[in-house]
């Protein structure tokens, strides 16, 4: 498409949506890269950067806490063995330090919570949402609610939301990992070939990523170093949305929808640590979560080419028998209408 035309179209959509042109500048680049322009009525928010923090009129101690939150978010490996038991940082999936649209920017959680969450069937606050990513995506167990680390992380999330309306009634531009349209058929073989060709150079053919002298370089896409079977990214559409919008690193949107889905299908049909909601068997998990969460994953499927039943194991990865304390915790048992 003609860039000039696109820019004009974007500028008018921007004005209609009431976004300042200054805030828009950064987003215009996204549209030039091929991301969709904001629709009329969508909430567009440009989170502040760490450079903005230095300029901001905030208490110096608050700035320190936000810096600590940023540091935990981008180097979560410092909690390895305590709260994190895989090779991930929060920023391994939330690109651009949690600011990037179409890469599940994290600030929306700070303005849309507390709210009911289908995954655990109760009203969650920001700390509980963060704790969820610890239990599943980091294959870990979260820092305690109200702890220094939890405070620092939530302060970072909240600060990124500076200026955004609380409980917005508009949809949020670039939220989550929006999936491209699902093609009619998905091919494991094609996904494998594409992974080897486009991804293995960084994530390695066996999905284990790259660690150099014990230092994080590229994260693991499956296996013990990756997220467990309960993480949001094991859902095929979420993986497809992540891949289409973010990978290969530095070349987002370069894969066709079919390619992104085939790779997602291949990637999510590899083994990883057990879902922490597992208590006795794959069938028990499927009975509880098959109709909801795992409807969209390959959990418990039998792989065509080798007859392997996915997730039929008691491997929890490096976490061993540590049980994330937040999983299965409800709230307000006796709440009256």
Among 45, 99, 203, 269, interactor with ligand HEC by CB under 6 A? 203
Least distance in angstroms from the C-beta of 198 to ligand HEC:
4
Cα separation, 147 vs 131, in Å, equals 12
Backbone angles phi, psi at 54, to 5 degrees: -60, -35
Least distance in angstroms from the C-beta of 73 to ligand HEC:
6
Instruction: Show the tokens assigned to 110.
Output: 């700070």
Contact between 299 and 276 under an 8 Å Cβ cutoff? The reply is no
Identity of the residue, 10 or 262, whose beta carbon is nearer to ligand HEC in the bound complex: 262
Report if residue 273 touches ligand HEC, rule: CB under 6 A: no
Contact between 33 and 252 under an 8 Å Cβ cutoff? The reply is yes
Q: With CB under 6 A as the contact rule, which of the stretches 8-16, 44-52, 90-98, 298-306 interacts with ligand HEC? A: 90-98
Identity of the residue, 10 or 87, whose beta carbon is nearer to ligand HEC in the bound complex: 87
Look at residue 5 and give its three-state secondary structure: helix
Binding string, residues 135-154; x marks residues near ligand HEC by CB under 6 A: --xx--------------x-
Report if residue 109 touches ligand HEC, rule: CB under 6 A: yes
Contact between 203 and 218 under an 8 Å Cβ cutoff? The reply is yes
Contact between 43 and 165 under an 8 Å Cβ cutoff? The reply is yes
Report if residue 199 touches ligand HEC, rule: CB under 6 A: yes
Identity of the residue, 10 or 83, whose beta carbon is nearer to ligand HEC in the bound complex: 83
Report if residue 220 touches ligand HEC, rule: CB under 6 A: yes
Among 48, 168, 183, 248, interactor with ligand HEC by CB under 6 A? 248
Q: With CB under 6 A as the contact rule, which of the stretches 2-10, 12-20, 107-115, 296-304 interacts with ligand HEC? A: 107-115
Among 180, 232, 273, 324, interactor with ligand HEC by CB under 6 A? 232
What is the number of residues in the chain? 337
3-state secondary structure string across 248-292: CCCCCCCCCHHHHHHHHHHHCCCCCCCCCCCCCCHHHHHHHHCCC
Report if residue 65 touches ligand HEC, rule: CB under 6 A: no
Residues 6+ apart with CB under 8 A from 210: 202, 203, 204, 217, 218
Cα separation, 233 vs 133, in Å, equals 11
Q: Which residues here bind ligand HEC, judged by CB under 6 A?
A: 73, 76, 88, 90-95, 104, 106, 108-109, 112, 129-130, 133-134, 137-138, 153, 157, 175-177, 195, 198-199, 201-203, 218-221, 226-227, 231-233, 238, 242-243, 247-249, 263, 267
């Amino acid at each position: 498409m003609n860039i000039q035309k696109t820019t004009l179209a974007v500028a008018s959509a921007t004005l209609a949506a009431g976004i300042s042109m200054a805030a828009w500048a950064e987003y215009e680049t996204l549209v030039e890269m091929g991301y969709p322009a904001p629709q009329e009525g969508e909430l567009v928010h440009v989170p502040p950067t760490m450079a903005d923090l230095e300029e901001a009129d905030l208490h110096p101690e608050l700035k320190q806490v936000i810096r600590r939150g940023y540091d935990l978010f981008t180097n979560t490996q410092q909690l390895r063995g305590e709260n994190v038991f895989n090779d991930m940082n929060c920023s391994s999936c939330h690109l651009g330090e949690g600011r990037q649209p179409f890469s599940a920017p994290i600030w929306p959680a700070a303005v849309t919570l507390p709210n009911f969450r289908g995954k655990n069937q109760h009203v969650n606050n920001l700390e509980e949402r963060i704790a969820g990513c610890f239990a599943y995506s980091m294959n870990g167990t979260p820092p305690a609610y109200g702890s220094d680390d939890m405070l620092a992380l939530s302060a970072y999330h909240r600060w990124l939301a500076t200026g955004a309306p609380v409980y917005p009634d508009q949809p949020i531009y670039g939220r989550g990992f929006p999936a491209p349209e699902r093609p009619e058929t998905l091919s494991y073989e094609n996904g494998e070939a594409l992974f080897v060709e486009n991804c293995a150079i960084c994530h390695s053919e066996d999905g284990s990523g790259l660690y150099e002298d014990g230092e994080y370089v590229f994260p693991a896409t499956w296996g013990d170093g990756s997220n467990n079977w309960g993480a949001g990214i094991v859902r095929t559409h979420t993986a497809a949305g992540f891949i289409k919008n973010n990978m290969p690193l530095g070349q987002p949107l370069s894969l066709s929808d079919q390619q992104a889905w085939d790779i997602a299908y291949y990637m999510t049909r590899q083994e990883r640590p057990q879902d922490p909601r597992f208590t006795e068997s794959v069938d028990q998990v499927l009975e509880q979560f098959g109709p909801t969460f795992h409807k969209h994953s390959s959990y418990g499927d039998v792989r065509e080419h080798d007859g392997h039943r996915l997730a039929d194991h008691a491997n929890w990865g490096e976490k061993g028998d540590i049980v994330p304390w937040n999983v299965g915790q409800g709230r307000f048992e006796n709440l009256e209408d």
